Chains A and B, each alone.
Chain A
């Protein structure tokens, strides 16, 4: 077993096949909770952002392989008339995911609450490190980057789903 595998803590066999049915509207008071969990990837996207869907497709594929991957999705579509479209996208995802959508009319306040240094460019992602600090990235994440970030290629089965813990 490779040394790096030691750092991989594969956890709980939860109800990982459940789908994300509907997103929870996000308000500034909820923002801190997005980033409370060390090791979580938070992905911001919009139905108006085609490159975001390249990233979502990549994560959809990875989540099928590794349902325990801790990913939070946040749609920035702060228009309740578009929530149905947002939710239809979320139905693609299962696993250890959390799904949010910006509260109606709250885009500016939420952008500010999430990160005053973020101009709103999409896709935008944050990774919470072990110390709980957030690190931001603008632009499409590539599969190889996420695999490398989470050291997924080192998982023994390469499948993740139903994996045994270490």
Chain B
């Protein structure tokens, strides 16, 4: 119920016009677009809240996929307080029965980038990482489990962060090399919490951990404090370079409160001076940028895409680097801000091309846009590959031996993989 403690419309507070002008941009008043979408009530059709609570893929809010070299597509998804893993060997026509990863119920983050992650190695081991939300606001732990029998059973989940502090540990990212070296990276609030001096902002820390299944115990993983200057609601992207070293891209707090992106190769030692700035829009914001970047490797080249809302250059961007961020080339403003571009996902196809998908919104429909390039220097025209009026999950590229597919999960509907070569949609059983 809205409580409108109504007041006389003639009663006004004084308004400092100078402050209004400086703070709120006097020259740029905005006008409402009331009712543009025609929703006069609960008419959008699809909400964000879970559509059902059964252990079915369609009941999950988010869907994360990982495709093996042979073409098995693994899925990780959460319903209520359970995390499930299953796979499809026929591009989504049928799915294996879900396997429960966490025998003890826990609240699993499944929103935006803060979602379960899944990966495999060449031996067929399956690795899962997720965020367990704790009762207190913004507190969570990074969790991990793995399977040595191709996903039939999973190890007892462990907490990766080793601080035993009730604070924020979130936005987990995970990469696994062919040999099975697991790298986890996440945003960590332990140092921010410990900072005693009021106003002494050190930013949110980035931590990482490494796990070698055959050589190290799974519990008490060494945590590496990489650096402090990310922001609490920033996001990470993680991939492997040509030497199979983990490369991290994140929204960094640069001098003056600029929140553009940094990149670094993660080692077993903390980062000191090896942060390379890879985006240059000079977005100054004391707030939550939210939208995260994406990374994909093609040979020695790392392709990047990110969003910026800077005054000078807002929109969705692309660039690539051949030296882990020392130099950035082929900068491209992929989509203007007024198209509401968001949630980019980069991936290299089995044929070797680099592809980018992202969402746009026109006031009524969400659209998934797609474009392709041989090396990232010149791109195809932009195609609209899917549209939807309701709330959907982020779009992801699935690179399969049979072609490139779009995974765009719509809670409440069967998981669908859309063949991007222009063929028909593959729609799964009612899981």
What is the bound-complex CA distance between A125 and B287, given in angstroms?
12
What CA separation (Å) do A125 and B20 show in the bound complex? 12
A68→B8 CA distance, assembly (Å): 11
- Smallest distance from the beta carbon of A113 to chain B beta carbons, Å? 5
Contact of A135 with B14 in the complex, beta carbons under 8 Å? no
CB of A164 closer than 8 Å to a CB of B = no
Residues facing A in B344-395 (CB within 8 A) are 361, 363-364, 366, 390-391
B32 touches A35 (CB 8 A): yes
Please give the distance in Å from A148's CB to the nearest CB on chain B. 5
In the bound complex, what is the Cα–Cα distance between A68 and B113 (angstroms)?
40
Knowing A32-B34, A81-B50 touch, does A96 contact B288 (C-beta < 8 A)?
no
Q: Which residues of B contact A57 (CB under 8 A)?
A: none
How far does the alpha carbon of A149 sit from the alpha carbon of B4 in the complex, in Å? Answer: 22
Q: Are B287 and A136 in contact (CB under 8 A)?
A: no
Are B391's CB and A29's CB within 8 A?
A: no
How many angstroms between the C-alpha atoms of A82 and B287 in the bound complex? 21
Q: Please, which residues of chain A bring their CB within 8 A of the CB of B330?
A: none
| Contact present for A8 and B13 (CB under 8 Å) | yes
CB distance from B51 to the nearest CB of A (A): 10
Q: Pick the contact of A51 from B6, B19, B25, B232 — CB < 8 Å?
A: B232
Of residues 65 through 79 on chain A, the ones whose CB sits less than 8 Å from some CB of chain B are 68-70, 78-79
Other-chain residue from A5, A99, A108, A117 in contact with B3 (beta carbon distance below 8 A): A99
Produce 1/0 per residue, B34-73, CB < 8 A to A: 1111111110111111100000000000000000000000
CB distance from A115 to the nearest CB of B (A): 5
Interface of B is mostly: loop
- Is A60 close to B, CB under 8 A? no
By a CB distance below 8 angstroms, the chain A residues around B38 are 28
Q: Are B25 and A11 in contact (CB under 8 A)?
A: no
Interface size for A (C-beta < 8 A) is: 92
Q: Is there an interface contact between A51 and B36, defined as CB atoms closer than 8 Å? A: no
Contact B287 A134 (CB under 8 A): no
Give a binary string over A1-19; 1 marks a CB under 8 Å from any B CB, 0 the rest: 0001101111110111011
A80 touches which of B47, B337, B361 (Cβ 8 Å): B47
CB-contact partner of B39 in A20, A97, A106, under 8 A: A106
Known A24-B1, A137-B25; contact A121-B290, beta-carbon cutoff 8 A: yes
- B390: which A residues are within 8 A, CB to CB? 105
**In contact, B34 and A9 (Cβ under 8 angstroms):** no
A29 touches B30 (CB 8 A): no
The residues of B that contact A137 with a CB separation of less than 8 Å are 23-25
Q: Please, which residues of chain A bring their CB within 8 A of the CB of B11?
A: 9-12, 165
Which residues does chain A contribute within 8 Å of B28, judged by CB atoms?
117, 135-136
CB atoms of B13 and A135 under 8 A apart: no
Neighbouring B residues of A140 by C-beta, 8 Å: 286-287
Q: Is A117's CB under 8 angstroms from B48's CB?
A: no
Known contacts A5-B14, A108-B361, A113-B32; 8 additional CB pairs below 8 A are: A103-B39, A104-B44, A105-B47, A109-B44, A113-B34, A120-B290, A120-B342, A145-B19
Could you list 13 A-B pairs, sorted by A, with CB under 8 Å?
Answer: A9-B14, A27-B42, A79-B47, A104-B42, A106-B39, A106-B44, A113-B32, A115-B30, A115-B32, A116-B340, A127-B24, A135-B26, A165-B11
